Structure 1
């Protein structure tokens, strides 16, 4: 495996699967512009500009990459050359949309485009096709939701790296330091542990812990604070970590300890519920039911989890109403939380991968409320 992408054989398999899925859906093909779908299919981190770059995957026939000549150098990092994909380059004054239509092989059957395609390209493309394309989301979601062995290995490495960061967090949580100062140290640790960037850092101390999407502020940590630390980011070749642990500066009150023990049980019950055939909403209900039995249902204000991979948030979503049966290889967070406005909050989050008979967690740090001793 290279530093920025997988071996070419991984992408070769994905391209074949995408073409087969397009054919099964009755489409003439897929048109993929830069974004996570393009990165998934050929390992390209190309960006979207006013000049069109598009991977055309016909349902029948070989794929073609339409790319501006001045962007040809961007192909070097991808698997395009090794895979022998036909490259149709174009220069200003030529019409790239005609090249896309030709690469599809003609016909009047519906074509699907990636959901990140800018309107700047979608509208002229629809004009050339003579009809509005449909979204490729439904075709690609079934592929991207089920991780292959290379992706699972990448998620394990990302999980281990963010676990090493969480192991350092207690020494950073010192009364008098601000959330922002702690976050800066965490960012440095995330990069030092091999991530390409810190995608998000939540340091929610005291009442800020009751805001699930708080980031960090100039609030100073205080003795007695409960602190939610939710961190993650991409780890080459671009698969994300995401893990939350909750810390207490000094021994927690009896009430905090009691409520947290219920949360810990809810998270464990939800992870234990994960196995093939169980639906996403059943995992959500497993966590929610434990909290409801303890009278804490109203304090759990978000879904139990989200899929993860090249995107921090992707399908499957572990939420009420999602009757999608789980399949081996699906990867998602299990992260129930409790939030008491103006007081404190707590969340426990692991990334799990569905196995043939249960779930494997890529995060192995303790789930207990982590008590940070106060300085003498």
Structure 2
């Protein structure tokens, strides 16, 4: 095997534009400021990837509060993102950060938004105690809405993450054979992704064989792959913060008519779902394309999860691709399509691709072949 150098360089993201669009959202909501506490959102808006930080954004000012561990990192990352000057780093202990918050937002009559989905009750109460003169407003979806459509810089990272995963699976294909443990395959995949340039896996890798494949989120264990198994492999890579997500199901020899039929059915349903992804379509329509096909085969109760989800800085983010979901797809939105059928005690089948919506449909980011039969 050859060793691949770290991926990139990647085009810079439009962080100044993201801040400007968020300020416009604040104006539309009648807010004087927003305290961004989601670390994912802080990274999306400023490029800062530390494990502690809050962004305070007003129409005129941006303040990134963090501690001394990140004194050098925050300066470097704000500079690279092109927002140094738009966002001022304030590096201090907790007391100093609180002082900065009060200084910027403590005036009477200020309407200050707090990210309701990313702030604990106790943290919200502490903020209220710090800002008794301000009106604190719970907000949802302000930054999430901006993140729905990926810009070219984000798509470049997502494509790189998907490519790493494709390569890694090709490298470990020989381990998907009787005699190897689920855990062995998963560890080999994780190692291959890192060696190929990923900074980490996107989530805990799933390798589930035989009866374990009937569990949608099974953890890889000591079970040894055996003839007659279906093997579900669900995994992804993280590249510069962005994640990929792909599932393939492999067949180790004859598996019986019920599982053979399930394999064919899921592949057909997944193709129908991918064909439905297009601008103007509701994500619920994509789910229905997959779900209706499986239901028509009498296996509706064996498809027990949503058809997909958005992917980006998080492996599960908006929009949901689920029954009745009303989010409207647009060019640049990235979603997964991953129907499955699970037969308890026997095995399971899931096939998943990550796709990006284009002007006239979609294109896959994950490209590993879907042929399920492996030679023994």
* Normalised TM-score (structure 1): 0.90
Q: Give the structure 2 partner of residue 66 of structure 1.
A: 65
Aligned to 2:33: 29
2:168 and 2:34 map into 1 onto residues whose CA distance is 40
1:286 corresponds to? 289
Aligned pairs (5 A) from 1:148-163:
148-163=151-166
- Map of 2:318 onto structure 1: 315
CA drift at 1:225: 0.8
What do residues 195-227 of structure 1 show as CA deviations (whole Å, max 9, x unaligned)? 111222111000000000001011111111110
2:216 counterpart residue number = 212
Which residue is 1:260 aligned to? 263
Aligned 1:73-92 pairs, distance under 5 A: 73-79=72-78, 82-83=82-83, 84-87=85-88, 89=90, 91-92=92-93
Q: Could you tell me how far 1:298 is from its partner in structure 2?
A: 1.1
Does structure 1 retain, via aligned residues, the 8 Å contact 2:299–2:341?
Answer: yes
Conserved? CA contact 2:62–2:88, under 8 Å? no
Task: Tell me the CA shift for residue 301 of structure 1.
Answer: 0.6
Q: Normalised by the size of structure 2, how large is the TM-score?
A: 0.90
Deviations 1:161-202 (A, max 9, x none): 111122234301121221111111111112122211122211
Aligned-pair Cα RMSD in Å: 2.4
Instruction: Report the 3-state secondary structure (helix = DSSP H, G, I; strand = E; otherwise coil) of the residue aligned with 1:20.
Output: helix
| Residues paired across the two proteins, number | 366
Q: Deviations over 1:71-95 (max 9, x none)?
A: 4223144225842245363645845
Give the corresponding residue for 2:327.
324
Deviation digits for residues 26-49 of structure 1 (CA, Å, limit 9, x no counterpart): 11121123610101111111213x
The ranges of structure 1 where at least 4 consecutive aligned residues each deviate by more than 6 angstroms after the TM superposition are 2-6
Do the aligned partners of residues 34 and 299 (structure 1) sit closer, same or farther apart at CA in structure 2, a change above 3 Å counting? closer
What is the alpha-carbon distance in structure 2 between the residues aligned to residue 93 and residue 230 of structure 1? 40
1:70 to partner: Cα distance: 5.6
**SS at 1:111 equivalent:** strand
2:149 is aligned to 146
Contact 1:5 1:78 in 2 (8 A): no
The alpha-carbon distance between structure 1 residues 7 and 25, as it changes in their structure 2 partners (threshold 3 A), is farther
Local SS of the residue matching 1:79? helix
Partner of 2:305: 302
Q: Secondary structure of 1:333's match?
A: strand
CA gap of 1:88–1:170, structure 2 versus 1, over 3 A, is closer
Give deviations 1:55-113, integer Å, cap 9, x for gaps: 1111x213122334564223144225842245363645845334224334845243222
Q: 1:133 is paired with a residue of what secondary structure?
A: strand
The answer for the alignment partner of 2:191 in structure 1 is 188
> Using a 3 Å threshold, how does the CA distance of structure 1 residues 159 and 5 change in structure 2: closer, same or farther?
same
The equivalent of 2:3 in structure 1 is: none
Alignment partner of 2:200: what SS? coil
* Unaligned segments of structure 1, at least 5 residues: none
Q: Could you list the per-position Cα deviations for residues 289-336 of structure 1 after superposition, in whole angstroms to 9, with x for gaps in the alignment?
A: 111111111110100001110001011010113112112111111000
- In 2, Cα distance between equivalents of 1:242 and 1:206: 22
Determine helix, strand or coil for the equivalent of 2:341: strand
Question: Contact (CA 8 Å) 1:88, 1:99: kept in 2 or not?
Answer: no
Report if aligned partners of 1:34, 1:47 keep a CA contact under 8 Å in 2. no
Q: Tell me the SS of whatever aligns to 1:227.
A: strand
Residues 158 and 239 in structure 1, CA contact (< 8 A), matched pair in contact too:
yes
Query: Is the 1:34–1:45 contact (alpha carbons within 8 Å) kept by the matching residues of 2?
Result: no
Residue 19 of structure 2 is matched in structure 1 by: 15
- Check 1:324–1:89 CA distance in 2 against 1; reply closer, same or farther (3 A cut): closer
- State the secondary structure of the residue aligned to 2:247: strand
What residue in structure 2 maps to residue 54 of structure 1? 54
Measure the CA separation in 1 of the matches of 2:213 and 2:349: 7
